[in-house]
Chains A and B, each alone.
Chain A
Amino acid sequence: MNINTPSALCIEQLSYAYSGKKALDQVSFTLQPGECTLLLGPNGAGKSTLFSLITRLYDSRDGQISLCGYDIKRQTRLALAKLGVVFQQSTLDMDLTVMQNLLYHTALHGIARKVALPRIQQELERLNMFERRFEKIRQLNGGHRRRVEIARALLHKPALLLLDEPTVGLDIPSRLAIVDYVHQLAVEENLAVLWASHLMDEIFPDDHLVVLHKGCIKAKGTVAEVLTCTDSRSIKEAFYSLTQGADA
């Protein structure tokens, strides 16, 4: 790694508590450009809390988060400009069309309309959604809505893409299509991806893993490294041994 290039995401000694109950405890890891990292953990592991802290919806008193070298607390706007997010719940406006939703996002990021329109076309075409740009979100199925959200998250050319269980509730073909597409994006666009999931089949052999359980990191590294350190034959086995059979 070039030492002059900052990590896409750097989390150091991050802790967070809800009313005294620890949700995250001394969490540290980094993500490099082009890396796809799966954040694995059972329900209640602290994945959503971690995402809320990275997106600055919550504020952390203990620890540090930086995006592309920008501290999320002190250089919030510079850091957020580098971030694309797909939240677990749909955040699209149901009564607006695909195009209106995307133009709203580009306006929030200060992108001129003449720049925004070709970008929207490019992102929608890549996801085979361009023909449906004038349809209201309400008319789309769950898989197509997710595609629109992924397209939206990429419009301002982020360096880091956060996905919080984006395939929940989707059928298998839609799920696989999104998993493939995001992995492809990481390689082609040199994009760092942090993908929260608890589905083992969303992991590719070249992926990096961060296993979170009860707010603590239980393992991190490449798939091979995690398998070696847990002495497991499959990720599923490794995951169970790390989380001691908690709900997966």
Chain B
Amino acid sequence: MNLLHYWRAMSGIVGRELWRFITQRERFISALVRPLIWLFVFAAGFRAALGLAITPPYETYILYEVYITPGLIGMIQLFNGMQSSLSMVYDREMGSMRILMVCPLPRWFLLLSKLLAGTFVSILQVYVFLGIAWFYDIQAPWQGYLWVMPTLMLSGLMLGALGLLLSSFIKQLENFAGVMNFVIFPLFFMSTALYPLWKMKESNALLAKLAEYNPFSQAVELIRFALYGHFNHLAFFYTLGAFMVFMAAAIVGYNPSKGMMSKKGGA
């Protein structure tokens, strides 16, 4: 195994994705506008409607904007993960995915490199978002901004792997919009991104249960705790487990002999 070959290939894939993101200004702006609208408009409107008790990792009463910020970070990564997989379906239809798939490296490694590239892009977006939120008086302890980095890596990989898995099942670009609706909205709204679990339990026990087992919730909680200097063990292992399951299934999905590629007309 030539490690240098692996390193060069991964650097090439990640570098290409970062370069594309930086040069595509519209993509950068639109990725930021979505969470900022939620923060400035939705959260501001809901501030009065929702009373939040003191729950870990928070040690004082907090504003709703503070509560929702980790959820919006999760949202950035969720959309980014889905967008990366959308671009993979597009690349597959347009053919540029073929160049990646015929290079002499294991397919799992190529897919993992693609995932890493997407995750780095999402982390860039998150830090710009956190920077803007800072000026809006949503400020975590400075150490939190460092602690959150590895958790963003894991949550980004998990959500990217989910997108990758979906992309292996989608035959055409047109089918993707439906899947986005069936995946993004349920994952986001049935989670702790917008409302805490205890609040959900008060209104609907089933919804609270679903939210608890939703891997997106666990990713959001992992980010929330890390941002305030705490490590949430359950959320970490749950997110890690979900990443491994999604990734393994995506690798099978992209395997020419076992997965969906054998049933498709393109690759």
Contacts and interface: CB of A to CB of B under 8 A. Distances in A.
A96 interface: yes
Interface stretch (B96-104, B133-141, B159-167, B207-215): B96-104
Mostly, the B contact residues are helix
A104 B103 contact: no
B2 interface: yes
Nearest to B5: A110
Given A92-B96, A110-B2, A110-B4, A57 B19 contact: no
B95 A104 contact: no
B145 to A, nearest CB: 31
A63 B98 CA distance: 23
Given A58-B262, A110-B5, A95 B20 contact: yes
A85 B102 contact: yes
A57 B98 contact: yes
B104 A100 contact: no
A152 to B, nearest CB: 8
A108 interface: yes
A151 to B, nearest CB: 13
A126 interface: no
A154 to B, nearest CB: 14
Nearest to A58: B256
Given A58-B261, A91-B98, A109-B104, A100 B19 contact: yes
Interface in B211-241: none
Contacts of A93: 16, 20, 96
Contacts of B131: none
Interface string A74-115: 001111110101011111110110001001111111111000
Interface string B99-111: 1111111100000
A59 B257 contact: yes
A25 to B, nearest CB: 18
Contacts of B103: 80, 108-109
Contacts, number: 94
Contacts of A19: 263
Given A57-B267, A83-B102, A93-B16, A107 B95 contact: no
Contacts of B261: 57-58
B36 interface: no
B102 A80 contact: yes
A52 interface: yes
Contact of B12 (A57, A79, A81, A104): A104
A56 interface: yes
A55 interface: yes
Nearest to A90: B95
A106 B13 CA distance: 11
Interface residues of A, number: 37
B53 interface: no
A90 B101 CA distance: 15
B94 interface: yes
Given A56-B102, A89-B94, A110 B9 contact: yes
For chain B, give the interface size range. 35 or more
A91 B102 CA distance: 12
Contact of B8 (A58, A61, A85, A110): A110
Interface string A43-54: 000000000100
A52 B8 contact: no
B143 interface: no
B11 interface: yes
B11 A107 contact: yes
Contact of B9 (A58, A76, A90, A108): A108
Contact of A87 (B13, B23, B98, B265): B98
B19 A108 contact: no
A19 B262 CA distance: 10
29 contacts: A18-B265, A55-B102, A57-B98, A57-B101, A57-B267, A77-B104, A77-B105, A80-B102, A80-B104, A87-B99, A90-B95, A91-B98, A92-B96, A93-B20, A93-B96, A96-B16, A96-B19, A96-B20, A107-B12, A107-B13, A108-B9, A108-B100, A109-B103, A110-B2, A110-B4, A110-B5, A110-B8, A111-B8, A112-B8
Interface of A: 18-19, 52, 55-59, 61, 76-81, 83, 85, 87-93, 95-96, 100, 103-112
- A-B pairs with the 9 shortest C-beta distances? A107-B12, A110-B5, A57-B267, A59-B257, A89-B95, A59-B256, A108-B103, A81-B104, A80-B104
